C-alpha cells in the first residue's frame, strides 16, 4: 500500500542527542518503518507527527544490567522498563541465565514463583521464544555461568571434571553462534561462587575473542575484598582475550567506603595497557538481592563477612516475601525485635518460611561513592532491577529517570549529553548491539522523547511501583510504546542478536 506521507513519523523541533556524547542540536527526526531515515530540517510530513519543542530526543535507553529474562515472556508489555525510556534490555546478568532450561528455571522461579514456560532449546531457542512473545522492549542476553554450572555439576562445591567443563564449553559455543552478547558470572552466588578463576577463563575463551562477546561479572567480593575481585575480573578478560564489564560497581560496607577511587584506578590502569574494561552502575545507595544469598555470604556475622560486607538488621528491608506480604516493606531489625531474635536468626526464619524467593534491599553504599563511580568515564547505567512481586527496589521503575533528573539536573554530576551516551551509544558499542544506541540515518528507530527540566524518578522504597515523570514518548523499532505517561499496548520488541 502506497503511503501518501513521505515518513511514518516525524519528531519535530526537539534538541536531538545522538548518543555519541556530542551536545544536542535542534532538529527533526524522521522515521520510516523501523529505521531513522532523516535528521535535521525535515520538510516532508509524516503520517504521525510529534511536536518536541523544548524536549530532548535521544536514542532509547539500553539497560545493560537486567534480570528480565523470564519477565519479557511472562509480562511482555514490560511497563516498568518501557515507561522509563528503556528500549533494549540485556538479561542474563550475575550468572543467572536461561540455559540449560531447567537450571535457569530454578533461578528465575525465585522472581516468578508460578512460572511454567514451555522449555526451549539453547540460547537460540530462547531468542526465538522472545521473538514469538513480541515484548514491548528489545531483548539481548548474556550467558549466565551459574546456570551453566548448575546444569553441568549441580550445586556441588568442587572443580568441574573434564567432561563437565566440555559440557559448559559446548553451551557457550552454542550461545555465541545464536547471538548471545557475552558470558556473565555471579561469584557470590551458588553455584557460581564455587568456580575458580581458571574455570571462568576457560569458558570465556570459548567466546573466541572480542567479536564473540564480553565477560560481565558480579564479582566475588564488593566489600573488604573489592580490589582483589576487580583484579580477578581484569585477569579473566586478559586471560581469555575478551572485553570486561564490571557489574553494578560499588564498595559495600562502611569500612570500604571510598575504595571505589582505588577500584576505578585499577580499571584505568588496565585500560592504559589495552584491556577493554568498563563498568555499570545503578544510581542508589542500596542494593538488592536474595536474602538466602545474604545469609550464605556471612553478612550477619562480624567474624567473616563475605562479598556483601557486614550488614545490620536495620540496613535490610524486605522487598518480596511470597505468602507473607505483611513482612514486605519492613526492616529485618523490626522483624527481629518482634520475634526477639538477632538479625541473623530472623533472616534464617524468613528464609525457612518463604525460601529463596525472599528478596531484600540492602543499604550498604556511600552517596559520595555513587557519584564518584558515575562521574568516571568508564561507567554505563544498568538498573539491576529485580522483577519480583511485593515492593521491589525502586531501580526497577526509576533508574534511568533518576540519573537524568537527580544526578544530571539537580546534582550536576554529569552533563546531559554525557549521561545519555552512557545509557545509549556507549553500551550499544560495548555489547555489540548493532544499529542501536544512536540517532543516525539507517539506525533502528529506538527513541525516547523527554523533558530535561522535569524528568524525575518518583519510585520510592515505600512506593516503588511508580512510573517516572517527564517522559513524553518512547518508540521501539519505530512503533510508539509509551505516550504521556501511558503504555500504548504496542509490542514491537525483538530479540537482538550480537552484531546483527
Ligand atoms: Zn549482581
pLDDT at 308: 86
- 78: alpha, beta or left? (left if phi > 0; alpha if psi -120 to 50): left
Contact 135, 76 (CB under 8 A): yes
CA of 460 to the centre of ligand 1 (A): 21
Q: Write the burial class of residue 162 (CB in 10 Å: 0-12 exposed, 13-18 middle, 19+ buried).
A: exposed
Contact 91, 105 (CB under 8 A): no
CA of 401 to the centre of ligand 1 (A): 21
Confidence label for 307 from pLDDT (cuts 50, 70 and 90): confident
Q: What is the mean pLDDT of residues 209-223?
A: 97
Cα gap 128→99, rounded to integer Å: 13
The set of cell numbers assigned to 453 is: 527540566
Q: pLDDT tens digits for 395-429?
A: 999 999 999 999 999 999 999 999 999 999 999 99
Looking at the chain, the domain(s) classified CATH 2.30.40.10 span 7-59+438-455+464-487
Q: What is the mean pLDDT of residues 3-21?
A: 95
Is the pLDDT assigned to residue 110 strictly greater than 90? yes
Contact 420, 428 (CB under 8 A): no
Q: pLDDT tens digits for 111-153?
A: 999 999 999 999 999 999 999 999 999 999 999 999 999 999 9
CA of 490 to the centre of ligand 1 (A): 30
pTM: 0.97
CA of 187 to the centre of ligand 1 (A): 9
Looking at the chain, the domain(s) classified CATH 3.20.20.140 span 61-285+365-430
CA of 473 to the centre of ligand 1 (A): 30
- Of the chain, the percentage scoring pLDDT greater than 90 comes to 97
Is the pLDDT assigned to residue 3 strictly greater than 90? no
Cα gap 408→15, rounded to integer Å: 16
CA of 41 to the centre of ligand 1 (A): 44
CA of 49 to the centre of ligand 1 (A): 41
pLDDT at 495: 98
pLDDT at 301: 86
Strand order in the sheet with 86-91: 61-63, 86-91, 138-144, 182-186, 214-218, 244-246, 277-281, 379-381
Q: 7-59+438-455+464-487 domain in CATH 2.60.120.10?
A: no
Q: Nearest-5° angle of CA 437, CA 144, CA 370?
A: 55
Q: pLDDT tens digits for 25-72?
A: 999 999 999 999 999 999 999 999 999 999 999 999 999 999 999 999
CA of 406 to the centre of ligand 1 (A): 23
CA of 271 to the centre of ligand 1 (A): 23
CA of 412 to the centre of ligand 1 (A): 27
CA of 226 to the centre of ligand 1 (A): 14
- 85: alpha, beta or left? (left if phi > 0; alpha if psi -120 to 50): left
Q: For the domain bounded by 61-285+365-430, which CATH number is listed?
A: 3.20.20.140
Q: What is the mean pLDDT of residues 382-393?
A: 97
Instruction: Please give the mean pLDDT across all residues of the chain.
Output: 97
CA of 95 to the centre of ligand 1 (A): 8
CA of 30 to the centre of ligand 1 (A): 38
CA of 338 to the centre of ligand 1 (A): 31
Q: Which of 285, 443, 449, 385 is nearest to 81 (CA)?
A: 385
CA of 114 to the centre of ligand 1 (A): 23
pLDDT at 1: 47
CA of 333 to the centre of ligand 1 (A): 24
CA of 257 to the centre of ligand 1 (A): 19
CA of 306 to the centre of ligand 1 (A): 14
CA of 227 to the centre of ligand 1 (A): 17
Q: pLDDT tens digits for 258-279?
A: 999 999 999 999 999 999 999 9
CA of 133 to the centre of ligand 1 (A): 26
Cα gap 31→233, rounded to integer Å: 41
CA of 155 to the centre of ligand 1 (A): 19
Confidence label for 187 from pLDDT (cuts 50, 70 and 90): very high
CA of 218 to the centre of ligand 1 (A): 5
Confidence label for 306 from pLDDT (cuts 50, 70 and 90): confident
pLDDT at 491: 98
CA of 285 to the centre of ligand 1 (A): 15
Is the pLDDT assigned to residue 305 strictly greater than 90? no
CA of 14 to the centre of ligand 1 (A): 37
CA of 287 to the centre of ligand 1 (A): 9
Is the pLDDT assigned to residue 492 strictly greater than 70? yes
CA of 76 to the centre of ligand 1 (A): 23
CA of 217 to the centre of ligand 1 (A): 8
CA of 32 to the centre of ligand 1 (A): 38
CA of 186 to the centre of ligand 1 (A): 6
Instruction: Cite the DSSP H helix spans in 14-56.
Output: none
pLDDT at 37: 98
On the question of a cis peptide bond just before residue 100, with omega within 30 degrees of 0, the verdict is: yes
pLDDT at 360: 97
Amino acid at each position: 500500500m502506497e503511503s501518501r506521507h513521505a515518513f511514518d513519523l516525524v519528531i519535530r523541533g526537539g534538541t536531538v542527542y545522538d548518543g555519541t556524547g556530542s551536545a544536542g542540536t535542534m532538529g527533526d527526526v524522521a522515521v520510516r518503518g523501523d529505521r531513522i531515515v532523516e535528521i535535521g530540517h525535515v520538510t516532508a510530513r509524516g503520517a504521525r507527527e510529534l511536536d518536541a519543542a523544548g524536549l530532548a530526543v535521544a536514542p532509547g535507553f539500553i539497560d545493560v544490567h537486567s534480570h528480565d529474562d523470564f519477565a519479557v515472556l511472562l509480562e511482555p508489555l514490560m511497563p516498568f522498563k518501557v515507561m522509563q525510556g528503556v528500549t533494549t534490555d540485556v538479561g542474563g546478568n550475575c550468572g543467572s541465565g536461561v540455559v540449560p532450561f531447567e537450571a535457569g528455571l530454578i533461578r528465575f522461579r525465585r522472581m516468578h514463583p508460578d512460572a511454567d514456560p514451555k522449555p526451549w532449546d539453547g540460547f537460540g531457542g530462547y531468542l526465538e521464544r522472545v521473538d514469538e512473545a513480541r515484548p514491548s522492549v528489545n531483548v539481548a542476553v548474556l550467558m549466565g555461568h551459574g546456570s551453566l554450572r548448575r546444569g553441568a555439576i549441580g550445586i556441588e562445591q568442587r572443580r568441574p571434571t573434564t567432561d563437565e567443563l566440555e559440557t559448559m564449553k559446548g553451551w557457550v559455543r552454542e550461545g555465541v553462534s545464536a547471538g548471545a552478547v557475552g558470558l556473565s558470572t555471579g561469584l557470590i552466588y551458588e553455584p557460581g561462587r564455587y568456580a575458580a578463576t581458571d574455570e571462568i577463563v576457560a569458558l570465556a575463551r570459548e567466546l573466541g575473542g572480542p567479536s564473540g562477546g564480553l565477560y560481565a561479572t558480579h564479582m566475588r567480593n564488593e566489600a573488604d575484598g573489592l580490589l582483589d575481585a576487580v583484579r580477578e575480573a581484569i585477569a579473566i578478560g586478559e586471560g581469555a582475550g575478551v572485553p570486561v564489564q564490571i557489574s553494578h560497581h560499588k564498595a559495600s560496607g562502611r569500612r570500604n567506603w571510598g575504595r571505589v577511587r582505588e577500584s576505578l584506578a585499577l580499571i584505568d590502569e588496565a585500560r592504559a595497557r589495552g584491556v577493554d574494561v568498563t563498568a555499570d552502575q545503578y544510581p542508589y545507595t542500596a542494593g538488592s538481592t536474595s536474602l538466602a544469598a545474604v545469609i550464605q555470604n556471612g553478612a550477619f556475622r562480624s567474624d567473616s563477612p563475605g562479598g556483601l560486607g557486614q550488614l545490620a538488621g536495620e540496613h535490610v528491608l524486605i522487598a518480596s516475601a511470597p505468602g507473607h506480604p505483611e513482612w514486605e516493606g519492613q526492616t529485618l531489625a523490626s522483624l527481629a525485635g518482634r520475634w526477639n531474635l538477632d538479625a541473623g536468626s530472623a533472616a534464617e526464619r524468613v528464609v525457612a518460611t518463604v525460601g529463596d524467593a525472599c528478596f531484600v534491599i540492602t543499604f550498604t553504599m556511600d552517596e559520595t561513592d555513587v557519584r564518584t563511580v558515575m562521574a568516571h568515564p568508564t561507567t554505563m547505567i544498568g538498573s539491576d532491577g529485580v522483577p519480583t512481586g511485593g515492593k521491589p527496589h525502586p531501580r526497577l521503575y526509576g533508574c534511568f529517570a533518576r540519573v537524568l533528573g537527580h544526578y544530571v539536573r539537580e546534582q550536576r554530576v554529569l552533563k546531559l549529553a554525557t549521561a545519555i551516551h552512557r545509557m545509549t551509544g556507549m553500551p550499544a558499542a560495548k555489547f555489540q548491539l548493532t544499529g542501536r544506541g544512536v540517532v543516525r540515518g539507517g539506525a533502528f528507530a529506538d527513541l525516547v522523547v523527554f523533558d530535561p527540566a522535569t524528568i524525575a524518578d518518583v519510585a520510592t522504597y515505600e512506593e516503588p511501583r511508580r512510573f517516572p515523570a517527564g517522559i513524553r514518548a518512547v518508540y521501539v523499532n519505530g512503533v510508539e510504546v509509551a505516550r504521556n505517561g501511558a503504555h500504548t499496548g504496542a509490542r514491537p520488541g525483538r530479540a537482538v542478536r550480537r552484531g546483527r
